[in-house]
Amino acid sequence: MIQLHDLFFKKFISETEINLAVNGVAVQINDDYKKKSPVFLIVLNGAFFFASDIIKKFDGNCEMCFIKVASYEGTQSSGEISTVMGVEPSLKGRDVIIVEDIVDTGNTIEAIIEILRQEEVKSYRIASLFYKPKAYTKDQKIDYVGLEIENDFIVGYGLDYNGLGRNLNDIYKLKQLKMKNIVLFGPPGAGKGTQAEVLKEKYQLVHISTGDVFRYNIKNETELGILAKSFMDNGDLVPDEVTIDMLKAEVVKNKGAKGFIFDGFPRTNSQAKALDMFLSDMGEGINGMVALEVPEDLLVARLLKRGETSGRPDDQDESKIRNRFNEYETKTAILKDYYEAQEKYYGVDGVGSIEEITERLCVVFDTF
């Protein structure tokens, strides 16, 4: 298994199988284009590898040119053709072989065929290493197909995920995460704990609160608890490694879980990277960071009101409350950038009744 950006891929088709498929297509093209000098129209960027191997196996004379048609963003086809680079030399009156890496919806092929008609080519045929018959929505026949596959997202041998994976000799397909792993964030008084309790029941997830984990380990004098307390007693911050090891122990303890809500962790970029690394070793990852967003003044008033009955001194002093917000905003801003870079940050309006906020959170959770 490999990781590209934020996603995991498992080996799907070997280099040997690819070579056999390429040879099969090359034989058919040689049979059909004897005594002809076709132009191989190579669709960039993905088809470059396939086209190179096909052309090297072509027995006669040929030319090649390139066209770029972009319709993919991330792992999904946008359905719209966004960029087209013109073809040279002139294709008028020529026999053209369109070389694609993969045909799924057929949108790219449709756009290219329209260009070829305008160019007044003599004939055209389509060669694709991979073909997804269940995803194909057009009537145009694909003349040469290396391998038919299911509607999976794949990388390797020219195919990429956001720029990575093209150089792989084997084909890998996207591994779907089995767990729903969420980082839940919210400023003090936003009701994060209340929502975590509701969400863990609804989605059958394990709620891991860093504060609860620390208290449990220290109270029960576990090896990690004793180690953490030794730092705290000296007035030092508990090192990330100790915190992460506590979290790991909780995850391992619940290996059969459908997923986790991480509450209060990570708090720094290094902790977020460590969590990603730990989950990736399990073949899992974070689905998203969900942050409750509530205006500070509203929360200050809410906490001061709570301080009248909670007995907590930090809920009774406005300056201390605002200092907690400053600390939260500093940490969250860093983590927001980290998860936004992975397209995994989700801000949710945290103003309203518990039921209203839960409904908004569920809309996000249901997308994971």
Which residues are catalytically annotated?
192, 267, 306, 312, 324
DSSP three-state, residue 325 = helix
Angle (deg, nearest 10), helices 240-253 and 223-233 = 150
Question: Where do the DSSP E strands lie in 228-311?
Answer: 259-263, 288-293
Using CB atoms within 10 A of its CB, is residue 146 exposed (0-12), middle (13-18) or buried (19+)? buried
Q: What residues are paired with 77 via a beta bridge? A: 72
Contacts of 160 (CB under 8 A, 6+ apart): 45, 46, 166
- Cα(132)–Cα(105) distance, integer angstroms: 8
- Cα(121)–Cα(92) distance, integer angstroms: 5
- Cα(301)–Cα(132) distance, integer angstroms: 57
Amino acid at 304: L
Cβ-count burial 47-62 (b if 16+ within 10 Å, e if not): bbbbbbbbbeebeeeb
Q: Choose among 157, 178, 167, 177: nearest CA to 13.
A: 157
